[in-house]
């Protein structure tokens, strides 16, 4: 890292390392993304073409509309609880929720039953969400724990990938944890001393030398809380993100700035940090908390089952040639296996005994 171009947060982290020694990757991510003064999500406007990345709702209104129909259908299958809390984790600029609520009007009793609860730490993004929602009343929260108990429908799109992870590497002699410490005049990666095998998931302890195992305690705690609430009944959650169903045994932590990959440690507080989501582990977490976990299924599979092509055809009827071309491009990007169709997965969580949600087949 060039000391002259070092971010204020990088300087603080170096002082922290000098005083207390290296930190684990989760501690670094938590500071880089959520530090109250210099964290990326506290200060930046990350979304959109002028930002650092674009999410599915920003690609096409179809994504949010179909998730709205999924929620309406789930509400109906769950016995139409009224009121029902509609919760979004990390609503971004409010685009998904705006499109979701527009689709919800197709089932007026559902639209009338909704109470909006948004979990968002960024005041900058909260302002954009207020503008997107218009006349829709909403309550904002710092975390899910603040949302009152009771029947809910929860959606989270590209939220879990930004939760802090820990990384463990199989060295020739033992498992060791990846740490962030001082390297020259900047930050660099290092390895801890040998670790007790119990820190590594039992199925992965015999992985070959060079393997990297990632765990996300924050995601596990969040899904456990969602599942606990869902187990009380008449609730459902839909989690969509890029990830995997089986651990690939390699590191996935990456940094993005202006839609390009950049070095992970170079500009903490000014770049986005993400890691692949372990949906297989989270499904197990949900089941251990007493809920049903459905999937994961590929995003393309879910959107096709929800009728994305039929909805696109209806929109194309009154569209110009340019609009039809843009619509076809968006559908391809969201569903094609070579684009987002298989790299992004969806996991649904319901209470025990609830019917299979739309797009998810009952387990064999």
pLDDT value for 48: 46
Q: Give the position of tokens 């108990």.
A: 149
Rounded to the nearest 5°, which phi and psi values hold at 121? -95, -20
Is residue 173 one of the residues assigned to a domain?
no
Is residue 32 one of the residues assigned to a domain?
yes
Chain centroid offset of residue 210 CA:
27
Is residue 89 one of the residues assigned to a domain?
yes
Total-model pTM:
0.92
Intervals of the chain under pLDDT 70: 1-5, 44-53, 259, 363-364
- Our count of domains for the chain comes to 1
pLDDT value for 260: 83
Contact status, residue 298 vs residue 186, Cβ threshold 8 Å: no
Is residue 178 one of the residues assigned to a domain?
no
Among residues 3, 61, 44, 71, the alpha carbon closest in space to that of 271 is found at: 44
Is residue 176 one of the residues assigned to a domain?
no
For the domain that residue 84 is a member of, what is the CATH number? 3.40.50.12710
Chain centroid offset of residue 54 CA:
13
Is residue 170 one of the residues assigned to a domain?
no
pLDDT value for 57: 86
The residues that bridge with 273 in the sheet, in sequence order, are: 255
Report how far residue 38's alpha carbon sits from residue 189's, in angstroms, rounded to the nearest whole number.
21
Is residue 95 one of the residues assigned to a domain?
yes
Is residue 225 one of the residues assigned to a domain?
yes
Contacts of 190-194 spanning 24+ positions with Cβ under 8 A: 190/22, 192/22
pLDDT value for 45: 60
Expressed as residue numbers, the domain containing 18 is 9-160+219-350
pLDDT value for 53: 54
What are the tens digits of pLDDT across the range 266-305?
A: 899 999 999 999 999 999 999 999 999 999 999 999 999 9
């Amino acid at each position: 890292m060039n000391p002259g171009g070092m971010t204020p947060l990088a300087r603080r982290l170096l002082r922290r390392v000098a005083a207390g020694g290296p930190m684990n990757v989760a501690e670094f991510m938590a500071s880089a993304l959520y530090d109250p003064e210099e964290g990326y999500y506290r200060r930046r406007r990350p979304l959109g073409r002028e930002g650092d990345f674009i999410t599915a709702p920003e690609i096409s209104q179809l994504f949010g509309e179909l998730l709205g129909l999924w929620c309406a259908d789930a509400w109906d299958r769950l016995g139409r609880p009224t009121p029902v809390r509609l919760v979004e984790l990390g609503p971004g600029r409010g685009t998904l929720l705006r499109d979701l609520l527009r689709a919800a009007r197709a089932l007026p009793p559902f639209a009338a039953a909704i109470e909006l609860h948004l979990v968002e730490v960024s005041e900058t993004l909260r302002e954009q969400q207020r503008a997107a929602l218009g006349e829709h009343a909403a309550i904002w929260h710092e975390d899910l724990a603040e949302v009152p108990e009771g029947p809910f429908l929860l959606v989270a799109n590209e939220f879990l990938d930004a939760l802090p992870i820990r990384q463990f590497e199989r060295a020739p002699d033992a498992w060791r944890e990846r740490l962030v410490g001082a390297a020259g005049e900047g930050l660099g990666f290092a390895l801890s001393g040998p670790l007790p095998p119990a820190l590594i998931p039992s199925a992965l302890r015999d992985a070959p030398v060079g393997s990297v195992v990632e765990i996300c305690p924050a995601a596990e705690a969040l899904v456990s809380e969602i599942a606990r609430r869902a187990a009380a009944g008449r609730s459902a959650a839909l989690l969509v993100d890029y990830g995997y169903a089986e651990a690939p045994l390699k590191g996935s932590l990456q940094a993005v700035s202006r839609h390009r990959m950049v070095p992970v440690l170079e500009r903490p507080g000014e770049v986005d940090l993400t890691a692949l989501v372990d949906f297989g582990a989270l499904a197990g977490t949900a089941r251990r908390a007493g809920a049903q976990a459905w999937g994961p299924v590929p995003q393309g599979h879910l959107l096709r089952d929800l009728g994305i092509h039929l909805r696109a055809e209806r929109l194309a009827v009154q569209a110009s040639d340019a609009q039809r071309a843009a619509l076809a491009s968006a559908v391809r990007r969201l569903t094609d296996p070579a684009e987002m169709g298989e790299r992004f997965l969806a996991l649904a969580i319901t209470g025990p005994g609830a019917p299979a949600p739309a797009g998810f087949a009952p387990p064999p």
